[in-house]
Amino acid sequence: MVDKTTFYEVIRQRGISRRDFLGFCAMTATYLGLGPDGAGLLAHAMQTKPRIPVLWLHGLECTCCSESFLRSGHPLATDIVMSMISLDYDDTIMAAAGDQAEAIVADIIRDYRGAYILAVEGNIPLANDGMACIVGGRPFKHQFDEAAKHAKAIIAWGTCATSGCVQAAKPNPTRATPVHKLVQHVPVINVPGCPPIAEVMTGVISYILTYDRMPELDNQLRPKMFYSQRVHDKCYRRAHFDAGQFVERWDDEGARQGWCLYKMGCRGPTTYNACASIGWNEGTSFPVRSGHGCIGCSEEGFWDRGPFYERLPDMHQWGVESNADKVAAVGAAALGVAVTAQVGATLVQRIFNKNQRKPEGQAEHEEPAA
């Protein structure tokens, strides 16, 4: 292995003062909700750990996840890439191409066996022997299999990688298959969304680097810290839902007042994501604030739950509120959330079990590669 420099050394050498460094740790720790000891842990981690190599492979996708990642404001993508991780392969931004690019994948697998993170954007098409995505003259699946087999952990970026997204919508002509269904012995973290929020992506990476462990995951392998509450739970328009004030037509008085978009098809009540809490583009907005309902882009199979402008049939099934026509104030916290959290906690224990048994939902249906 090559000599490695720690994150702390790198930023000190960049002229960042120790005071600024500790400030950064405190801010990041607060943001991650790490509690009173968080800043110290973060600082310790960053002063002692070399930069972990990351291979960021692309299957069938649209590159929105990479684009989102680059939008991160805290930490900046430049700081992540230059100082926190070693992003040795990412076809979207890497200097090398062709043979020189291919060689990097082989070198990292050889030099950092079991010690690199594999990030996957997009999914793996299995139809036609995988020839719907050819990289380096071979099916992408072959490159994916090799990289997955020896990874320390796999981050599946975005709904393409976590559940197939748009190309897996019916009839899924390429048999686009999410990452976790092809991996058995390596832990997978699903970070869904089309794309995921930038600061969620960098937050997941920061968390892993800080604690040297996976974040706690729910039964869909999603980090609970970001995916355990519904958009509806934290929506700034929620009070209008409870008060029965709805947008009935685009650009009507309710739309101009910022009333609830439930009747316009908003999927906020069934979508687990941090959009309403963290916001998009450094908190600038999120879909509901722009006047359009959530389309549920972080949920498995959301493309096949349209039309998007048809309202969710009945809210009873979610066990939280009554339906919109007879809104009754039900103050109880989200039952679904509590259940999810419990299941998730159990799963996390399994993931960190040295035996690394596969979590539920991982590699159930397809032939595993790793």
Partner 1 sequence: MTQHTTPNGFTLDNSGRRIAVDPVTRIEGHLRIEVNVDSANVIRNAVSVGTMWRGLEPILKGRDPRDAWAFVQRICGVCTGVHALASVRAVEDALGIKIPANANTIRNIMHLALYVHDHLVHFYHLHALDWVDVVSALSASPKATSDLQQSISPWPLASVGYFKDVQERVKKLVGSGQLGPFRNGYWGHAAYKLPPEANLMAVAHYIEALNFQREIVKIQAVFGGKNPHPMWLVGGVPSAINMHGSGAAGAPINIERMNLIAAVADKAHTFISQVYIPDLLAIASYYREWFKYGDGLASKNLLAYGEFPSKANDDSDSSLLLPRGAIINGDLTKLHEVDLKDAAQIQEFVPHSWYSYAGNNAGLHPWDGQTELDFRLGDKTRKSGDKIEAFDEDGKYSYVKAPRWKGHAMETGPLARMVIAYAGGNRRVKELVDGTLKKLDLPLTALFSTLGRTAARGLEGLWAAEQLKEEIATLQATIKSGNETTANTEKWAPATWPKEAKGAGFCEAPRGALGHWIRIKDEKIQNYQCVVPTTWNASPRDAQGNIGAYEAALLGVPMANPAKPLEILRVIHSFDPCLACATHVIGPDGGELTVAKIL
Burial class of residue 8 (count of CB atoms within 10 Å of its CB; 0-12, 13-18, 19+): buried
Nearest distance in Å: CB 83, partner 1:
8
Contacts of 130 (CB under 8 A, 6+ apart): 124, 139, 140, 141, 142
- Torsion sign over Cα 163, 168, 171, 174: negative
Nearest distance in Å: CB 76, partner 1:
6
Between residues 167 and 184, which has the closer beta carbon with respect to partner 1? 167
Between residues 174 and 229, which has the closer beta carbon with respect to partner 1? 174
Report the run of H or E that residue 117 belongs to, with start and end.
strand 117-121
Nearest distance in Å: CB 279, partner 1:
9
Is residue 210 helix, strand or coil?
helix
Nearest distance in Å: CB 203, partner 1:
16
Contacts of 89 (CB under 8 A, 6+ apart): 54, 55, 56, 57, 101, 104, 105, 108
For residue 195, whether the previous peptide bond is cis, meaning omega lies within 30 degrees of 0, is yes
Between residues 190 and 202, which has the closer beta carbon with respect to partner 1? 202
Nearest distance in Å: CB 290, partner 1:
3
Between residues 308 and 318, which has the closer beta carbon with respect to partner 1? 308
Between residues 39 and 260, which has the closer beta carbon with respect to partner 1? 260
Nearest to 201 by CA among 193, 218, 160: 193
Q: How many residues does the chain have?
A: 370
Nearest distance in Å: CB 140, partner 1:
8
Q: Give the separation between CA 51 and CA 68, rounded to whole angstroms.
A: 22
Between residues 87 and 315, which has the closer beta carbon with respect to partner 1? 87
Q: Give the separation between CA 95 and CA 327, rounded to whole angstroms.
A: 56
Nearest distance in Å: CB 291, partner 1:
4
Between residues 245 and 323, which has the closer beta carbon with respect to partner 1? 245
Annotate 74-112 with DSSP letters as a single string. TTBHHHIIIIIEEEEEETTT-S--HHHHHHHHHHHHHHT
Between residues 159 and 362, which has the closer beta carbon with respect to partner 1? 159
Contacts of 7 (CB under 8 A, 6+ apart): 46, 47, 49, 51, 83, 84, 209
Nearest distance in Å: CB 53, partner 1:
7
Cβ-contact 38, 30 below 8 angstroms: yes
Nearest distance in Å: CB 184, partner 1:
22
Cβ-contact 118, 57 below 8 angstroms: yes
Between residues 196 and 344, which has the closer beta carbon with respect to partner 1? 196
Nearest distance in Å: CB 66, partner 1:
8
Between residues 58 and 358, which has the closer beta carbon with respect to partner 1? 58
Contacts of 71 (CB under 8 A, 6+ apart): 77, 198, 281, 282
Nearest to 262 by CA among 286, 284, 279, 239: 239
